[in-house]
Structure 1
Amino acid sequence: MRTLLSIFALICLMSCQQNISESDLSKLNGYWEIKEVVFPDGSTKEYKANTTIDFIETANLKGIRKKVQPTLKGTYFANDDAESFTIRQKGESYEIYYKNDYSEWSELLTSLSQHQFSVVNKEGVTYHYKRYEPININE
């Protein structure tokens, strides 16, 4: 039953997704924080505050995704760890493929704008991100 619900949720998400063009993919560049996760059963988890955010940089259908920690001065702490990815067109959609020494996975890009994006993984879990706005206590 759970598998059936997951497949149904994935089909619904795919039919509701916006059209994303290759030129839109540059909107992924920048700092992002997770806003909400929607599980296949419909339950959600909201994130009000994040101690780490994602830095994404793309060019020519390739990119990196790196976890960084924002500071109160508007700067970021980061280490050298980054996940490399490739973006492939899949029909009218784009899928982000990650591969490292331990695992490989993909996420279907379901929406993308200058201020938000969403992806859904193979398990039917949807991740909603919003553009990170730094907090600067020096202002």
Structure 2
Amino acid sequence: MHSSPFKRLLYFWGVLILCSCNPTPDTEDLQYLQGYWEIQKVALSDGTEKTYTANTTIDYFDWNGRSGYRKKVQPTLDGKYLTSDDALPMEILWRDRRLFLEFTGGDTQWEEEVLELDSLSLTTRHSNGLLYTYKRYEPFSLKTEDD
């Protein structure tokens, strides 16, 4: 017993639609952006990946409403951060129910689409095609309770 070509085509399109539905971040997920993020890997457009096992700097995101900034900070062994005043201005944009972070630095402007955002992970796609995967930064400290 064979199904009709129409039923097979309908089944194919149904499976294709279900498989292509990626859960994208929504407005409630945006709360997780605030804070410290450590880069884990960068995927290049040719499919190769660069993995980061240890980072001397991490990214700090701060925002309020639709604007904020991202800056590089250096964690120290006592649980504090070394920082400078070079914050990168950031705008939060929604287009077609997709979340974008638009950055302005000097004479350049670019955006990154937020593909995944939850309390522990952040994945963005830069407008140049690079895919950045971050994990929530877990601070460490060599201080003891007796300090």
Superposition TM-score, scaled by structure 1 size: 0.85
Shift of 1:101: 2.6
Unaligned runs of at least 5 residues, structure 1: 1-14
Matches of residues 67-86 of structure 1 in structure 2 within 5 Å? 67-86=72-91
Count of equivalent residues: 125
- Higher mean alpha-carbon deviation, 55-64 vs 71-80, is at 55-64
Separation in 1, partners of 2:21, 2:37: 23
Instruction: Map Cα deviations across residues 78-111 of structure 1 (whole Å, 9 max, x no partner).
Output: 0111001101101121111011332100001000
* Structure with greater Cα Rg: 2
1:41 matched residue in structure 2: 46
Separation in 2, partners of 1:27, 1:62: 15
Shift of 1:16: 6.0
Unaligned runs of at least 5 residues, structure 2: 1-19
The change in CA–CA distance for 1:132 and 1:89 in structure 2 (over 3 A counts) is: same
1:50 matched residue in structure 2: 55
AA partner of residue 88 (structure 1): L
Separation in 1, partners of 2:129, 2:23: 17
Q: Is the 8 A contact 1:17 1:111 kept in 2?
A: no
Q: Is the 8 A contact 1:52 1:70 kept in 2?
A: yes
1:6 matched residue in structure 2: none
1:138 matched residue in structure 2: 143
Secondary structure class of the residue paired with 2:28: helix
Query: What root-mean-square deviation, in Å, do the aligned CA atoms of Structure 1 and Structure 2 show?
Result: 1.2
